Amino acid sequence: MIHPTAIIDPKAEIGEGVDVGPYCVIEKGVVIDQETKIGPHVVIREGTHIGKRCHIFQFASIGEVPQSTGYKGEKTFLQMGDENIIREFVTLHRGTVKGGGKTVIGNKNFFMAYSHVAHDCQIGNEVIMSNAATLAGHIVIEDWAIIGGLVAIHQFIRVGAYAIIGGFSGVLLDIPPYTKAQGDRARLYGLNTIGLKRANFSEETLKALKKAYRIIFRSGLTLEKAIKKVREDETFHIPEVQHLLDFIQHSKRGIAR
């Protein structure tokens, strides 16, 4: 159902079964796939593509122009997948030309009230951003990561899969996958053991990750020597440990320790 007070540009594409609430504004070029529900007073700007069965709550701002001084009105995009939940007052901004032109959000993510995703961010699947969590531009968040309330993440940071960042943290360095981090200048506090168990990681995988974590971050070895030691040990030849090592070796900003 589309409420009669909603303002929808004729050049917007609205899929079958989409519900648009009162006083929404949907601009030209917007694409909304089937069975998505949009609450009252939502603004969806040009260049936004929203997938199937998403639920966007009241007063959210979707696909607004980026908060970047370098943005000069170019045509850029926000691409969102299926079954995302966007709570009240969430702001999701489209990309910039310098950042590739597109902000990308995967499937089944949960953005709690007042959370913010800036231009050119790349969000995976099943990510949770708690209330007022804030991403600067060009950030990569891998699948199943959890960002606590009032967390602020610096631009160009990466947060690895299944990592959890405790509330009221400031993140200036990459957070490796499977770890937990906390603090004004966020540092690591071991593996996200509870999250990994809830995700049904095997005991073998958990033991390998724990051992690899101790060697890499707590052995006193240089990062280069620690990674070399783990790579050369056949007991660590499992996908999760290899992903951890690859993530660290491809870091450009540096790794939180």
State the catalytic residues. Answer: 119-120, 137
169 exposure class (CB count in 10 Å sphere: 0-12, 13-18, 19+) = buried
Contact 36/53 with Cβ under 8 angstroms?
yes
For residue 90, the tally of other CB atoms under 10 A from its CB is 23
